[in-house]
Amino acid sequence: MADLREYPRDVEGSNISKIVVDRDLCIAAVSCLAVADEVWELDEENKVVAKNPNAMDDATIIASAEACPTKAIFVYDKEGNQVFPK
């Protein structure tokens, strides 16, 4: 089973309801952190966790997921559809 960690996002006007990190895929390349440093941080196990999934705007969150070289970050909209990776 994949080791998934979910981060609900509750920001007025945002179309993103949830961000999910597949911890098995995360290799701590920290590309996401470089794009959205207010959202992401590395935890004790050297995996990326969302310290504040409500920080920053939707475009920045998606850009941070796009930057991930292992595509370990999944973004869902308010209807529950996966909007990234498409």
Partner 1 sequence: MQHYTYVIIGGGIAGTTAAETIRKHDPKGSIAIVSDESHPLYSRVLLSKPKWVLGEQPFDNVWLKKDEWYEENNIHLFKGLRAMKLSAAKKTVELSDGDVLKYEKLLLATGTHKRMWDVKGADKKGIHYLRTVDDAKGINEVAQGKPKRVVMVGSACVSFEIIEILVAKGFHVTEVMREKYFFEPQLGAEEVAPIEQTLIDSGVEIIRESEIEEVLGGASVEGVRLKDGREIACEVILPLIGVVLPVEWVQKAGVATHKGIYANQYLETNVPDIWTAGDTTESWDSVLEETVIMGNWMSARLQGQVAGKNMTGAREAFEQVSFHTSHGFGYQIGWTGDVRPLPGREIIQYPTKEEKSSCRLIVVDGRVVGGTTVNRPDLMSAITKIIKEKIEVGSALEEIRKGTVDLKAIANTKRI
User: Which residues of this protein are in contact with partner 1, per CB under 8 A?
Assistant: 24-25, 27-31, 34, 42, 44-47, 66-67, 69-71, 85
What's at 82, amino acid-wise? Q
- Provide the minimum distance between the beta carbon of 84 and partner 1 in the complex, in angstroms, as a whole number: 11
Positions of E strands within 1-86:
4-8, 16-22, 40-42, 48-50, 73-77, 82-84
In whole angstroms, the minimum distance from the beta carbon of 35 to partner 1 comes to: 10
In angstroms, give the least distance from the CB of 61 to partner 1. 16
What radius of gyration, in Å, describes the C-alpha atoms of the chain? 12
